[in-house]
């Protein structure tokens, strides 16, 4: 069965700092990769996704992620964070041919200070 690891549970940054959140998955086959965000008091929403093609994917609000197959990683990046990026971030995978079942990591709580 697949699993997802997020290494940073809590991250505190100042505005304008750069962000990188780690995500590693374990599965030997083809995966589809997602980053979801949950802003305080709001629903989980999709930031970006990777299915195939260019391993560097761009999402909403200036976020991007790079799929490195050899490292089983899909790290999330943003060059300059804003206070409004304060939220919880979840990495997730589905397995091609395994139905639309998301396996999530434990999440990273990001706090951006002014």
Partner 1 sequence: ETGVTQSPTHLIKTRGQQVTLRCSSQSGHNTVSWYQQALGQGPQFIFQYYREEENGRGNFPPRFSGLQFPNYSSELNVNALELDDSALYLCASSSYRESTYEQYFGPGTRLTVT
Q: Give the nearest distance from C-beta 49 to partner 1 in angstroms.
A: 7
Q: Give the nearest distance from C-beta 14 to partner 1 in angstroms.
A: 25
Q: Give the nearest distance from C-beta 38 to partner 1 in angstroms.
A: 9
- Residue nearer to partner 1 on the CB measure, 6 or 75: 6
| SS3 annotation, the chain | CCEEECCCCEEEEECCCCEEECCEEECCCCEEEEEEEECCCCCEEEEEEECCCCCEEECHHHCEEEEEHHHCEEEEEECCCCHHHCEEEEEEEEECCCCCCCEECCCEEEEEEC
| Residues at the contact surface with partner 1, assessed by CB under 8 A | 4, 6, 32, 36, 42-46, 49, 51, 90, 92, 94-107
- Residue nearer to partner 1 on the CB measure, 75 or 103: 103
- Residue nearer to partner 1 on the CB measure, 51 or 83: 51
């Amino acid at each position: 069965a697949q699993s997802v690891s997020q290494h940073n549970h809590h991250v505190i940054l100042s505005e304008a700092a750069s962000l990188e959140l780690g995500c590693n998955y374990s599965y030997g086959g083809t995966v589809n990769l997602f980053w979801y965000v949950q802003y305080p008091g709001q629903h989980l929403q999709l930031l970006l996704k990777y299915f195939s093609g260019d391993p560097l994917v761009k999402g909403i609000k200036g976020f991007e992620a790079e799929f490195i197959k050899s490292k089983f990683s899909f790290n999330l990046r943003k060059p300059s964070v804003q206070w409004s990026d304060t939220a919880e971030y979840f990495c997730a995978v589905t397995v091609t041919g395994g139905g639309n079942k998301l396996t999530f990591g434990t999440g990273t709580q990001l706090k951006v200070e002014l």
